Amino acid sequence: MSTKQKGALPPKYNIHSSPYQKVKSPFRKPKKAPYPDEFIHFNRKIKQRPFVITKPTTDAEVPSCLDAEDALDIYEQVTDTAAKTIQLAFRKYFRRHPQLVFDEDAEQAVLSLSKM
pLDDT tens profile 78-93: 888 888 888 888 888 7
pLDDT at 76: 87
Average pLDDT over residues 56-72: 66
Give the range among 27-31, 50-54, 89-93 with minimum mean pLDDT.
50-54
pLDDT tens profile 42-51: 545 555 445 5
Per-domain boundaries in the chain: 32-111
pLDDT at 45: 53
**pLDDT-based confidence at residue 94 (cuts at 50, 70, 90):** confident
User: Which H or E run contains 63?
Assistant: none
User: Which H or E run contains 19?
Assistant: none
Which residues, 6 or more positions from 36, have their beta carbon under 8 angstroms from its beta carbon?
Answer: 89, 90, 92, 93
Distance CA 35, CA 9 (A): 37
Average pLDDT over residues 55-71: 64
pLDDT at 116: 43
